[in-house]
Structure formats: C-alpha cells, structure tokens
Structure 1
Amino acid sequence: MNNAAARQIADLEARLLVLEQQLARRDDLLATADARLNVITAACAALLISRDVDTIAHLVVREALQLLPGTNSALLYMIDQDGQQLQLIASSTPPITSSVSNRPVGSGPAGRAFLSPRAMLLNGPELELILDELSPEQDAEMSAFLPHWPPSTALIAPLRSATRRLGAILLCGGTNAHLYRPHDLPFVQVLADLTAIAIEEATERARSQSLQADLVRTRSLHAEAQARLDCRQAPAATSAKLAAVGELAASVAHEINNPLYAARNSLYLLEQDIATDAPLRPFLDIAQQELGRIARIITRMRDFYRPSRAELGPTDVNTLLRETIELVQTHLRHNNIQVVSQLSPELPLLNAQADQLRQVFLNIILNACDAMPNGGALTVDTRPVLASAENSATLQASIADTGVGIAPEHLHHLFEPFYTTKASGTGLGLAISAHIVTQHGGRIEVDSCVGQGSIFTILLPVESPISSVEK
C-alpha cells in the first residue's frame, strides 16, 4: 500500500471518529432533551391542578432544579401592585426571610429578566456586569441568603402573559464545570411560559372569587339593610293601613251591625226552643260563637278610626310589665315558662296612655307563650337610651322567648292586619300593637331565628308626640 492510500485511510478514520463523537453528543443531547421534556410534562400536569400563586411558585423552583442539573438556586420574583418593585416569593434553597429586600425593575439579574423579551443566558463578563448593578447591601443580602453567591453562570427568563408582565425566573449555576449552554434556553422559556399562564389563571381565579365574595357580601348587607328598613317602616305603614281599614269599618259598622244583631237575636231565640242535647245544638253554638267573633273584629277595627280617649299621664313601663306578667301568671305556670325580669331601676317615666301600652305588652307576651308550647324562658328587659344629636331620649323594652322562632318569609308581614300563622288567630294583635306604638312616636323591631326564639324590642320616646296633639 502506497503512502497516498495510507493517508486517505487515516483521514477517513479521523473523519469517522469525528462523526462518531458528534453522533454521541447528539445522542446525549437527545437523551437530555427527552428527560427535560418529561420534567416539563410533569410540571405542566402539576400546574394544571395548582390553585394559588404561592403553590405555583414553589412548584416551579423545585421543577427548575430537575430541569437543569447543576442549578444551585432557583428564584421566582413577582411584580408588586405598583409595578415598580420585584418581590422574591419562592426559592429552591432556604426559606425566604424578611431580610431579602425587593428589587427595582431593570436593575440586577431579576430586574433585567423582568424587562427581557425572552430567556437569556448570562456567562462571564456579561454576568459580572449585571451583578455589578446590585448595591453592596443587595449583594450582601444575596450572599447571606444563597449558599453559592455570586453565581458563575445564570439563566433568566421573564414571566409574561398575553397582556402584562408578571415577574421573572432566575436560575444560578455554581461552578464552571456546569456552565449553562444555549440549548438550555428553550427549556427555560417553556417553563417560564407555563408558569406565567398558571399564575395568570390563578390570579384571575382569585380575583373572580374575591369579586364573587364581595358581591355575595354586598347582597347580604343590602338584604339586611332592606330588612331593617322594612321592619322600621312596617309599623308606620301598617298603622296607616289599619286607619284606612278602621275608617271603612266605621263607615259600614252600622249596616253590618244591624243584620248581625238580628242574626244573633234569632239564634238566641232558636236556642230557647232547641234542647241542649239536640243533634243540631253544636252547630247552633258554632254559629253564635262565629257571629260574636265578627262583632268583636268590627269593634276592634272601628276603634282604630275612633281611638281611645284615655288620658295621657306619667307611665311607669316597669310597673306595666310587672302587672302584665302577673295577669298571665297562670298561663305561664301552666305552660312551664320561666320568667326572667331585667328591669332597669333608672327607667324614666313616659307621658303615655298606660292602658294602650299594657295592651301592647300583653299581645307580645301572649304570642311568646304560644311560641313555647313545651315550656321555655321569657326574658323581659328594660333600659333607658340616652339622647343623642340625632335622637331624643328613648326607652327600650325587650321581650324575648326561647320558642320556635319566626320564619324569614313571615317577618315582613308580622304587623300586617289579618296576617296570621295561627289556626285560630285574627291577625290583629301585632297590627294593633304596632299602631299603638307608632301613635306614641315609637317603633317595634323584631329579631328572630327559627328554632331559637324571637326578640321583640319596643322603642318609645320619653316625650310622646301624642301629648303635643292632646295639648
């Protein structure tokens, strides 16, 4: 074999060796890329089920270490609300402490990453120039915070959504043996893009939930305010309605009473001729009772148009409550109801119509007893309310029970005439009470919870407006 042929063979062998080495490097790159794609896939799956920014940030810095072996530290920054400072929210190394200050946008690795359009590789002099942008205090912070600072190599990438900049990722390598390479950039960019999408979705989700909670809270506050307003306006509206009904009742009372009395007298004559044990006698008794009930309703409604002319005078509400409780004492004992009296000795006297207020207390206490068929506690409380710039001096009397409570759908109708949930009720007791209290310049408030009981609070001005009318 001549020298020329030998040289050709040697040249071919050298070229084959180079090709083999290139193929080996390509195989290594493919294997590395495959492993990194697996990391990206796993990270993507984990990000899909992450619901808050903090969880996403800590997941990303952990996955970054798996994505790029040789990485000593992975840091994730988020922009603050003013868009001026970057805040470190996740680190792959030690827990973040308050000693790590925020970074200004555009300065240092994090600030440069935030403004960068895509991932960047920093090695050698370029990295040193960017690290020099840190103040001595910031450099000392990072030296104390990270075990390998300053880094010999770094990868930075912006976190950007379709509409705004969110933050930045900073990956730090520790030794020259593990310098980052250009082929690392696409993987870092993909991780940054996935992170930005996940953070944007989590932020929007949190904002949506916050807005939904605010809406629910606003609706609840509006409903409560409307309920309080309705409760305050209900007695006055009911009073006007009762007065109108009373006027109508008074105008037709004569026409109703004449045939009513004729019917009752006829039934009375029939009673004289029908034996008490006759089969039809129970029906006769029912008719007489119901006609009597009609007569009482007409009388009570007529009284609203022609109110009682009882004289005003100094009235002790504590005394009225004691007398009312004594009046129903037998009823209370029979129903196993315990009375708790918390009557203030400092209660001022009212200039009021005592009999009418006694009727109010009696109606409410009897309703409380009906609400406790199996026994319970009846709490009666009085207290003075001092005058303020908005309100004159007021007296407060509360009657609370531990009964069945009032369903929300009934609360707004409590003071409407003829509205009742009782099988034998007329629906006039609370309506009359509200009318009387309104005439005295006060109001009735109700607070009730189904299964726990109700509280009726009567607020009366110490100087009743009736007195000025009477004068």
Structure 2
Amino acid sequence: MAYQQLSQAMAFEAESPSPGALSRMGMLALAESLRSGLSADALRYHFLAEQLSEVLFHLDGLGKLTFLSPTWTALTGLAVEDVLGQPLAEVVHPEERPRVQALLDAIAARVQASFRLELKLLAPGGPRWVELAAHSSPAGQGEVLGTLTDVTERRQLQARLQQSDRLATLGMLVPGFAHEMNNPLAFMLGNLDYLLSSMGESAGAVPANAVAEWREAVGEVREGAERLRQLIGHLHNFRAESRQGLVDLTTLLDTVGQMVSSALRSRGRLVRDYGARARVVGCEGGLRQALLNLVLHAVLSLPDGGDMEANEVRLVTREDGEGHVVVEVHDTGSGIPPELLPHVFEPLFTARESKPGPTLSVCRDIVRGLGGSISVTSSVGRGTVFRVTLPMAS
C-alpha cells in the first residue's frame, strides 16, 4: 500500500497546487509523511524516479500496478491514481496483451528473470509506442520492477524512413520500367493506326455497319493505349529535378489528377474548378511532388467504397488580385481534429496510424522555397482545404 500511496502523492506533487485544494494539500502532506518514514537510500531512489524521463513501475505478485512515477501522466495523459491497482496487461493495447501476460507469467514462474520489448500503450490521444523493460524484483514473490520509455517518435521516423527508402528504390527502377513498357506500346499504337487506315480503304468491300463497329473497337483500344503511354510518361518524369523554368499550373494539376485516378476510383470523383490559368517560376518536379502529396492526402481522406457522387476532391485555382495564384485542394473526407491541426506540417505527422500518408512537411518546404505559403483549414466530418499561394510569373 505504501507504494500506491507514495505513487499517488508524487503524481499530485508534480502539479502546482491551487488555493483551497484541500485534497491536493493533503496528498502533499501524505507524500512528506511517507518520505519521512523512508530510509536515505529509499528517498534517493524515489527522487530519481521523479526526475527520469522514463516511467518507473512496480507490479505485485498478481501483475497489478502498485507504483508509477509521475512521468506516466505526461506519457499517456492518464492520471496515476486512475491506473494503480490495474493489471499491467490491461493498460497495453489489446493485441499486445497475450504476449505481455505470457512474459510476466514466465517471470513469476522464474523461467526467466527479465525481458525487453516494444509495444503500444492505450492513451486518450491514441496509442503510444514504448519500450518495456521488466525485471524480477529482488524481493521475490513474483514482483516485477521495470521502466517504460517513450519511442513513439522513433517508430514514426522509422516508418517514414522505410517509406522514403521504398520510394527511392522505386525512383531508380521507374525509368527502366518506363523504357521497357514504351517499346511495346509504340508497336501497339503503330499497328492500331495501321488497322484504322486499312479499314477505311476496305470500306467498299465490307458492310458499312461492320466497318463502323471495327473502327469504334480499335479506336477504344488505341485510346486506352495512349492513356497508358501518358501515365508512363508521368512516372518517368516523377524524379527529383533542379532545373528551374516556367510551370503551367493547370497542366500540372491535370497530370496530378491522372496520377491519383486509380486511388480515387473506388472513393469518389475529381472535380476541376480552374478559375485562373497561371504560370509560376520554379522546379516542375518539386512542385509536382508537393501538389501530388496534397491531392493524395485528400484522396485518402475519403472512405473506400463510399458514395461516389457525394465524395469528391476539388481542385481550385484563382488569382488573389495581388500578383499571386491560389491553388486549393478541397476534400469531403473525415477532416482533421482541432488538436492535430497545428501539427499537420510537422515532419512526423500522420493522420493514419496504420499506414503513414503523404509527408506534408515536404509540401510546406517546397512551397516556401518557391516564395509561396501554405495553410490548412478543416472541419471534422465535413472535410479539409489545403491552400497554396504562389507568386505568378510576370
């Protein structure tokens, strides 16, 4: 019980007491009285527990939390006193519970003396990744001492690095793929053009309706092949480029729209609302990447298999009357919660825990490098608008 009382007292003591808060002052008095009964060594250990960034914990022989250092609240957003007395397995993510319980049982049975693993903790703001280090207590009786170290940012960074590595590898392979695919496409388009011209020459020997059907069928095949050729061209050009020049925003947005068409097909529709046809000075490859990230973020915010007519991504261009062109990317998705909105352009931000989405910090850096600005507004349940403002070419 002393562990639990001192843990609660430390949690209250970590906060600034407010006037008239008798219960809080009582807890501070309890902390002082508990400390007065501790040895000098015990006081040093408890002081250390208050200063460490890691969370220190103690489990009794039943695997229940009897002590938590105040850092627990900073890590999870949960009050220490609300968690004490619960089994450790109950505060971790459900998918982690069997593994944690099996390891705790192994320590209790003296099969192993310690273990270390990364897992997810439950928290009001979403799961937090921690490294759990647990050791059999010198006191025995199945008690466990351990630490919880926050590794959430490290896990997110690892996911980003893995994604970047996959994209870098793909970027090295795409030019070769594009070249290999363009060769058979060139043969296909050439032969289709030959068939179309031959049908016109033999129109007198074949019923007119049959020729019309053939020409229509071959025309559709040629249209599909031409579209595939354009997509391969977009992929071939999707590389880092440093060359500066004039970039037509309307053409660039159309290219981006084609590149996300497959991802959008089962989610909604793309609406083009071009109120201005403007050009800007910059690197076409960089600006393409920034706009593609924004549009792809909008596409992924729409539910897969939802209402195809109601769900949309809208691309808007307009002039602001001050020598700038404004590009807006609207979506009718789930929106971004207010508490996350200030962090949207941070390097590790992701609105999706399971699959990291496009890196919006890259968009911000590219736009700023072109002398522009970027902002975002969002309403939960109604959608999000990203707004890019760029100086127009004179």
Give the alignment's TM-score, normalised by structure 2.
0.38
More helix by share: 1
Give the alignment's TM-score, normalised by structure 1.
0.32
